[in-house]
Amino acid sequence: MDIEKMRKWLEITNEYRNSDFWSSVLKQKHPDEFFKEKMPNPIFDMYQNENYNFIIFEIPGVNQEDLSLNLISNTHLKISGKINPVLPLEMEMKRERVYGEFERVIELPEATQAHLMHIQVNNGLLHISYPRKVESISFP
């Protein structure tokens, strides 16, 4: 770090030394607390080959009956559900995973209809596939 940057940083910190700035910073929640309040957001990958589009979501801890998929347009899919903890939260010592209800809308790479989608849940992964190059799909 060069001397000028350090001087500037010291000037700024001295400005706040006698204010409530540092006490408000120190009263902030621990970073783990912010993480616990975060809404789950399942991550996904998309693939395609000559004939099919594939979407794979990570949904560990989601029971199939707690999962909902809705095609809200011919190019937008809404996935919602609830990620349940494996063990009771009272036993928790440290947590990095996020639990609770989630909802996410993704844009599909190509238009489709619900009856063309093949859906399978396996080992904490949601596999969705549907054919490519379906001509003139209309959405009701």
Backbone φ/ψ region at 114: left (φ over 0), alpha (ψ -120 to 50), beta: alpha
- What value does the mean pLDDT take over residues 95-119? 90
Q: Are both 124 and 65 inside the same structural domain?
A: yes
* Interatomic CA distance for residues 82 and 67, integer angstroms: 7
Q: Are both 71 and 15 inside the same structural domain?
A: no
What is the pLDDT, as a whole number, of residue 4?
81
Q: Are both 22 and 60 inside the same structural domain?
A: no
Q: Are both 1 and 46 inside the same structural domain?
A: no
* Interatomic CA distance for residues 56 and 10, integer angstroms: 49
- What value does the mean pLDDT take over residues 58-81? 91
What is the pLDDT, as a whole number, of residue 34?
52
Amino acid, single-letter form, for residue 16: Y
Q: Is residue 40 predicted with pLDDT exceeding 60?
A: yes
